[in-house]
Amino acid sequence: MFNFDGSFRRLPVQSLGGSSVETDRSQLIKKAQIERKKREELRVKHLSTIKIQKLIRSFHHRQVIKRQERVNYENYLKTNRLENFHDLEFLLKRLLYFYELDDSAKLITLCQFIIKNINKFLELVLTSNDENIKIQWQFRVKKLLTICLKQLFASTLPIAIPMRTIETFTSFESIKKLAPADVNEQEILKFLKREFSYMIEQNYFQNVRKMLDEMINQDTYDEITTIPKKEMSKVILEMIERPLKLVNNLNYDEEFDSKILSSFVIEFLSKDSNYTIRNFIIPSLASKPVFPFVKLINFLYNVHQRVNGTDNNNQGEGKRPFKNIKFNGYLLYAILHLDVNYLDQIISRNLLQQYLTLIGTMTSCIYKLPKANEYTKFSNFDDDSDDIIRDANDSDESDDETTQDEEMQPQFERLILLDVIQQINDESRVNVIVKNIDSVLNLPDVIHSICVIAHNLMIYNRAAMNEYRLLDLLAFKPNFIRALWYTLLTSKTDNDQLSISILSRGITISPDQSDKVIPILAAFCALLGRLLSTLHDGEFYYCSFGNDAHSDMSDDNIENIEPIANNVMPFHIKDIIHMCLTLKELSIGLVELAFPETRSAVRDHYRSILLGNESEYQDNAIINQQKTIWTQLLKVCVSLLRQFHTRDLRCGFCPSENWIAPTLNIPLDRPKDLTFSRRRGPRPFQPIRDFTKKDIEEGPPISTKQIRSITILKEIPFVVPFNKRYEVLQGLLAAEKLRSQGDMQGFLQGPQTHITVRRTHLYEDAFDKLSPENEPNLRTKFRVQMINEQGLEEAGIDGGGIFREFLSELIKSSFDPNKGFFILTKDNMLYPNPSASIIHENFKQHYYFIGRMLGKALFENLLVELPLAEFFLSKLAGRHTDIIDVHQLTSLDPDMHKNLMKLKSYTENDFKELGLDFTVVCDDLGDTRVVDLKTDGSNITVNSSNWIEYIQAMADFKLNRQIHEQCKAFRQGLANVLSISWLYMFNTKELQVLISGAEIPVDVEDLMKHTRYGGDYNPEHETIKMFWNVVRNFNDLQRRQLLKFVTSCSRPPLLGFKDLDPPFCIQNAGDDADRLASASTCMNLLKLPTYIDEVTMKEKLLYSISSGVGFELS
C-alpha cells in the first residue's frame, strides 16, 4: 500500500526481535502456504460480501415495488369496480406480484369473478388469437392456482372459493365442459401439462400432503376402504389423481412424467406414511384404472439405475434430481398394493425385470423388524445348524441392542413391514412371478433380485422356507435353482477370480461383491435344501443318474442355460459330487471367516468416544446386520452340505474320500482342550472382543484355532475322519474321568460307588440303587458285587470286569422288548415303545435311568450290542429332537414311507377316491383310537395342495409325537453322564458303532501283535503257538465268543486292539491238561493251561467260551 505522502522510496523494515535466525526451506514453504491461504480467504470473503449486498438490495427493491403496486391496486378499486377482463387483468397482475398471506380477501374477490365468468375466461386462456396474450394468461392461471393452494392453510376465511378455483382449472372434465366447443382435447391436455409442470415446481404435492396431514384426523381411517368418509378426503384424493391421470393420458414425455411421479413418490409413497394414506389413499388409487402403474415402475427403475450408477444412458446426469426418493418400506408397501390391477401386465419380460429389481432393492427394510424367533417343527431341511445362530446372537450386548432397535422403530412402520412380508407372499402375486420366472433366467440382475427377496425373508424368519409361499414354490423350480448354481460358478471378483473360490480359502471379499454373491448363495442352498427334503431316495437317485441333458456345466454364457423338462432334480450326479466338494470347501472357508485371528487396532471404548453415540449406534447396527447375513450364509451352507451327506449315507452316490478335508488341522495332541461347553470366546463373524476383568477372572478364553475346530466338529464333523473324531471323544472322556475319578484309580483308590445286585433281578436292583436320589453322579468308578441264584455272593473282587459284565447285562435287560420299554421295527431294530405309559406308570423315570446306563457305557468305553433304530439314534446325536426327516420313516416302517411317497404322483381325483384326512388310527395294546394330526384334522381332507403337509404331519406323529416323552427322558438321562454335544461329532451310523462296535471280523493278527504274556509264556512258547493256530482256525463267531470270554465284549475296539485297556494278556494256568481255560475280565486276562496238543486245546477252549456262566467259573 502507498500513503501518497510524497515518499516514493521503500523504507527498510526494522526487526526489533533480536538477532535473525536462519530459516530453512520447509518453514519458508509453510509460511508461503499460510499467506496464500489467507489471501484466498480474503478473496472469498470479499465475493461473499458482494453477493450478500446484491441479495439485500434486490430484496429491498422488490419490497418497494410490491408496496407501490399494492397502493396502485387499492387506488384502482377506489375509482373503479371489477366489471370486465380489463379490470381483472390490471388487478390480477399486481396481486400475483405482491401477494402475501394477508391478502386472502383480495384473492377470493378475484377468484369469484373468474369463476362467475369462467366460460369467457377459458376462451381467453385457450382460444385467444394472440399467442402472446394466451401465454400470458396461462402463466397467470398457473400462479393463481399456486397461490390458491397456499391460501388453504393461511386464512380464517372459507376455503371453498380457492378450492373451487383449483378444481376448475386442474380437472380435464371441468375444462372440457366449460371451454368453448372448438377447443380440442389435445389443447386442453397441453394446457394442463404446462399448468402442472409449473405447480409441481411450486411444491404442489407437498402442499396437498400438508392438507392431508392437517385437515384429516388420522383416526378417521382405521381400516382399509375406498369410500371417502369426509368430503375433504374426496377432494384431496382428486387433487392427487389429476396429475397422475395426465401422466397416463399423455404420450410419453420423460421430463414431464419424471417431474410428476418423483414429486408424488416423495410426498406420498416414500415419505413417512400414516393411516389415511395406508388405508384410504393407496387403496383408492389402486382401484382406479387410470393410475399410471407401469410408468411408475419404469420411472422408479430408471431412478434406481441412476442412483446406483448402472444406467449407461444417463452417465452425464447427476443423482440430485432424485436424491429425495427413498427406496424404503413405505414405498415397497405402496407398490405391492398399487399393483393389484396390473399383475397381468407384469408378465412382460422387461416389466417383470424392473418390478423384481425394485422389490429386491427395498426388501432390505425387513432388517428393521425384530427377528421372528418362531421355530417350526417341519423344518426338516433346516437341520442342526442352529448353534451357529445362537452363538452369533449370544453376546452381552445382544439383548440391549434388540430392545433399543424395537424402541427406535415406530409401531406404524413395523405394521407396514409385516404387511409387506404378507403381500410379497400373496398367492396371486407369487403365481405371476413363479409362472414367468423362466423368461428372465438369463438376466443376472433379476436372478440376484429374486435371491435378495428370498434372502431377506430368510434372515427375518428362520422358518421362511416353510411359511412363505414364494420361497416354497421357488424351491420346486429346477431351472431356477440350476440358474442360481451356474451364476455362482461364473461370479467373479474385480480381480477376475471366482468369488466362491475366494470364500473357500477363508479370504474376505469386498462389500459390493458380497452383496452380489451372498444372497444368491444363501438362496440357492435354502431352496435346494427345501427341494431335497421332499425327494425320496428313489427320486433323487433316478433323477440324478437318469438326466444327461445338463451334466455339463462348463458353458461360458449364462444365456446357454437349457430348461430341464419333466425332471424335479436340477442336477446330474456328477454335478452333485462337484457341488458337495465345493460346499465342503466353502463351509470350511466360512468357518475361518467366522472366527478371524486379527484384533481391531482401536479398542471398543476408544472407538465409541471417537465416533460419538449416534455414530457408534450406526456402526453397531452395520456390524450386527453383517453378522446376521454372514451367519445365515454359514447356516444354510452347512445345512445343505449335511443334507447331501445324510443322503449319501443312504444312497452312497459320492466317494467317501470326497467328504474328508485332508488339509484340515484338528489339534489332537491335547483333545481335552477342545471343550464343547459355552464359554466366553470369539463369536461368529464378530470382531475379537477386548479382554474384560470378567474374562480374566474366568480364565483364558477359547483360542481362535480351538473355536474353529469345535465349530467344524459340531457342524460338519464328517470332514474329519472317524478315527480322529473318535480320538477326540476319547480325549474328552479321559479328561472328564480324571476330573471325576481322580488320578489314583489305577491303584483302586479314589471316589467309588459300591453296589450289590442280584443276578436274577439285575434291572430292578440297579433301578433302585442307581436312581438319581441314591447316586446322583455316575461318573465315579463302580465296584459291583453279584448275588447268584442261590442268594450267595459270587466269588471274586471287582477290578472292572464284573462291572463291565453287570453293565452289559443290565443294558441288554433294559432294552429287552419283553420288558415293554422298547419294541422292534420290521427290521428288528429297537426304539421306544409308544405305549410305555400304559405299561409303566412312572415310565419317564425308567427311560431316564436307561439313558443314564447307556451314557455310563459310553463313558466307560464299553461296547454293548444294541441294534437301535436310525431315527431313535438321530434323537440322541441331534441338537433338535423334534426335527422331521421323512426319510427316517424307512427305519421305522418302510411300507408306510413307500405309500406316503406315492402321494406325490396322485391327482386331485386320486385324492378324492382315497378319502384321506389329517387323522391316524393308533392301537394301544388293543385299544384303538383316532388321533388328529392337526387341529380339527378329521374335517380336513388331503388334496393336491396339502399333501406335503400331510406327509410331514404323519412323519411327525410317528417319529416324534408318539415317543416324545420317552425320548426326552432318555436323552436327559444320557446327558446326566456325558455331554450330548460330544455326540454331535457322529452321525447315526457312527453312533451305533460307538455303542455296539463295528461289524468287522476279529483281526487275529492284530490281536496277536498287541497281546502280552505272563508267567513263562512268550510268543515263542509251544503252547502260545498252538493257541494262535487254534484261534486262526476258529470261525468269526467263535473268535467273538473268545473275545467276550476274556474282555466281556464280543466286538473288537474301534481303533484296534492297541486301544484295549488293559491289554489282552495270556497267563500260564499250570500243567493240568484236564483243566478248563478261565479268564479275569477285569484284567482282560486269559488263564491258559499248558495243553499237550491242539485238539485238546481247541476242545477245552470251545467248552469254556461257550459255557455262558458267570465270573465264578474262574
Among 857, 862, 842, 866, smallest CA distance to 974 is for 857
Cell of 7: 515518499
Choose the catalytic residue: 543, 654, 1049, 1082: 1082
Q: What is the DSSP string of 870-935?
A: HHHHHHHH-S-TT---GGGHHHH-HHHHHHHHHGGG--HHHHHHHT-BSEEEEEETTEEEEEESST
Give residue-wise pLDDT tens across range 328-356. 899 999 999 999 888 888 888 889 999 99
> Phi/psi at 411 (nearest 5 deg)?
-60, -40
pLDDT of residue 376: 41
- The CATH number for 1009's domain is 3.30.2410.10
- Inter-CA distances, 467 with 182, 376, 470, 1009, Å: 61, 9, 9, 60
- Which parts of 696-771 are beta strand (E)? 752-758
Distance CA 622, CA 401 (A): 12
Let me know whether 964 and 1047 are in one domain: no
With 0-12 / 13-18 / 19 or more C-beta atoms within 10 angstroms meaning exposed / middle / buried, residue 594 is: buried
> Phi/psi at 403 (nearest 5 deg)?
-65, -40
Whether 526 and 465 have beta carbons less than 8 Å apart is answered as yes
Checking if the pLDDT of 1113 tops 50, the result is no
Side-chain-side CA neighbours of residue 557 (13 Å):
3
Q: Are strands 752-758 and 781-787 parallel, antiparallel or unpaired?
A: parallel
pLDDT of residue 429: 92
Work out the average pLDDT over 129-149.
88
pTM above 0.85, yes or no: no
Let me know whether 991 and 1035 are in one domain: no
Burial letters 773-807, b for 16+ CB under 10 A, else e: eeeeebbbbbbbebbbeeeeebebebebbbbbbbb
Confidence of residue 998 (pLDDT cuts 50, 70, 90): confident
Work out the average pLDDT over 389-403.
47
Count of CB atoms within 10 A of residue 895's CB?
Answer: 10
Residue that the C-alpha cell 431341511 belongs to: 381
Distance CA 865, CA 868 (A): 9
Determine the Cα angle at 848 with ends 843 and 853, to 5°.
125
Amino acid at 1044: K
Q: Among 79-83, 243-247, 349-353, 395-399, which is the least confidently predicted range?
A: 395-399
Let me know whether 872 and 978 are in one domain: yes
- Residue 23 placed within a domain: no
Let me know whether 992 and 1037 are in one domain: no
Give residue-wise pLDDT tens across range 915-957. 888 999 888 777 888 888 888 888 889 988 888 888 888 988 8
Helices (H), 202-292: 204-215, 231-249, 254-264, 275-276, 282-287
Query: Is-catalytic flag, 1082?
Result: yes
Cell of 1075: 483243566
Confidence of residue 60 (pLDDT cuts 50, 70, 90): very high
Number of domains in the chain: 2
Q: Which of the given ranges, 455-464, 1040-1049, 1053-1062, has the highest pLDDT on average?
A: 455-464
Domain-ending residue, one of 996, 1021, 1053: 996
Give residue-wise pLDDT tens across range 256-308. 889 999 999 999 998 888 889 999 999 999 998 888 999 999 999 999 888 87
Let me know whether 979 and 1051 are in one domain: no
Among 390, 397, 386, 369, smallest CA distance to 687 is for 397
- Residue 1058 placed within a domain: yes
Cell of 454: 428370498
Let me know whether 983 and 1080 are in one domain: no
DSSP symbol at 703: P
- Residue 955 placed within a domain: no
Give residue-wise pLDDT tens across range 4-21. 566 666 666 665 655 555
Distance CA 327, CA 363 (A): 9
Checking if the pLDDT of 588 tops 60, the result is yes
Checking if the pLDDT of 415 tops 80, the result is yes
Domain-ending residue, one of 975, 996, 1017: 996
User: Angle 511-534/478-490 helices, nearest 10 degrees?
Assistant: 150
Q: Name 14's Cβ contacts closer than 8 Å, sequence gap at least 6.
A: none
Q: What is the DSSP string of 446-504?
A: HHHHHHHHHHHHHHHBTTHHHH-HHHHHHTT-HHHHHHHHHHHHH-B-TTS-BHHHHHH
Among 228, 223, 222, 252, smallest CA distance to 240 is for 228
pLDDT of residue 433: 92
Give residue-wise pLDDT tens across range 161-182. 888 998 988 888 888 888 888 8
- Residue 124 placed within a domain: no
Work out the average pLDDT over 716-731.
89
Checking if the pLDDT of 403 tops 70, the result is no
Count of CB atoms within 10 A of residue 586's CB?
Answer: 23
Cell of 211: 392438507
Q: What is the DSSP string of 52-108?
A: HHHHHHHHHHHHHHHHHHHHHHHHHHHH----SHHHHHHHHHHHHHH--GGGHHHHH
With 0-12 / 13-18 / 19 or more C-beta atoms within 10 angstroms meaning exposed / middle / buried, residue 663 is: exposed
- Residue 637 placed within a domain: no
Checking if the pLDDT of 480 tops 80, the result is yes
Checking if the pLDDT of 109 tops 60, the result is yes
Domain-ending residue, one of 944, 971, 996: 996
With 0-12 / 13-18 / 19 or more C-beta atoms within 10 angstroms meaning exposed / middle / buried, residue 870 is: buried
Among 641, 637, 619, smallest CA distance to 629 is for 637
Q: Among 145-159, 196-210, 440-454, 590-604, which is the least confidently predicted range?
A: 590-604
Work out the average pLDDT over 59-81.
89
Helices (H), 99-203: 104-116, 118-127, 131-151, 160-170, 172-178, 185-201
> Phi/psi at 784 (nearest 5 deg)?
-110, 135
Let me know whether 1074 and 1026 are in one domain: yes
pLDDT of residue 405: 45
pLDDT of residue 905: 82
DSSP symbol at 998: -
Let me know whether 978 and 864 are in one domain: yes
- The region, left, alpha or beta by phi > 0 then psi within -120 to 50, assigned to residue 227 is beta
Whether 301 and 391 have beta carbons less than 8 Å apart is answered as no
pLDDT of residue 557: 39
Q: Are strands 927-932 and 919-924 parallel, antiparallel or unpaired?
A: antiparallel
- The region, left, alpha or beta by phi > 0 then psi within -120 to 50, assigned to residue 978 is beta
Let me know whether 1062 and 1078 are in one domain: yes
Q: Is the dihedral of CA 715, 721, 724, 725 positive or negative?
A: positive
Whether 1051 and 863 have beta carbons less than 8 Å apart is answered as yes
Checking if the pLDDT of 801 tops 50, the result is yes
Range of the domain at 1016: 1004-1113
Q: Name 526's Cβ contacts closer than 8 Å, sequence gap at least 6.
A: 381, 454, 458, 464, 465, 471, 636, 639, 640
- The CATH number for 872's domain is 3.90.1750.10
> Phi/psi at 348 (nearest 5 deg)?
-60, 135
Checking if the pLDDT of 845 tops 70, the result is yes
1014 sits in which H/E element: strand 1012-1014
**Regarding predicted confidence, which is higher, 881 or 1067?**
1067
Side-chain-side CA neighbours of residue 258 (13 Å):
10
pLDDT of residue 852: 94
Cis peptide before 662 (omega within 30 of 0): no
Checking if the pLDDT of 320 tops 60, the result is no
Q: Among 685-689, 869-873, 1009-1013, which is the least confidently predicted range?
A: 685-689
Let me know whether 985 and 846 are in one domain: yes
Distance CA 206, CA 213 (A): 11
Q: Which of the given ranges, 254-263, 555-564, 994-1003, has the highest pLDDT on average?
A: 254-263
Distance CA 493, CA 498 (A): 6
Radius of gyration of the chain (CA): 42
The SS3 call for residue 781 is strand
Confidence of residue 456 (pLDDT cuts 50, 70, 90): very high
Confidence of residue 687 (pLDDT cuts 50, 70, 90): low
- Residue 194 placed within a domain: no
Count of CB atoms within 10 A of residue 731's CB?
Answer: 17
Share of the chain above pLDDT 90, in %: 26
pLDDT of residue 544: 59
Q: Is the dihedral of CA 346, 349, 355, 359 positive or negative?
A: positive
Q: Among 214-218, 319-323, 684-688, 995-999, which is the least confidently predicted range?
A: 319-323
- Residue 225 placed within a domain: no
Let me know whether 1065 and 982 are in one domain: no
Count of CB atoms within 10 A of residue 350's CB?
Answer: 12
Let me know whether 968 and 1068 are in one domain: no
Give residue-wise pLDDT tens across range 485-524. 999 999 888 788 888 888 888 888 888 888 899 999 999 9
Share of the chain above pLDDT 70, in %: 83
DSSP symbol at 371: P
Work out the average pLDDT over 678-701.
60
Checking if the pLDDT of 61 tops 60, the result is yes
Checking if the pLDDT of 1109 tops 60, the result is no
Cell of 540: 433323487
Cell of 775: 447316586
pLDDT of residue 55: 92
Confidence of residue 641 (pLDDT cuts 50, 70, 90): very high
pLDDT of residue 966: 92
Average pLDDT over all residues of the chain: 82
Q: Are strands 1012-1014 and 1065-1068 parallel, antiparallel or unpaired?
A: parallel
pLDDT of residue 882: 54
- Residue 248 placed within a domain: no
Confidence of residue 315 (pLDDT cuts 50, 70, 90): very low
- The region, left, alpha or beta by phi > 0 then psi within -120 to 50, assigned to residue 800 is left
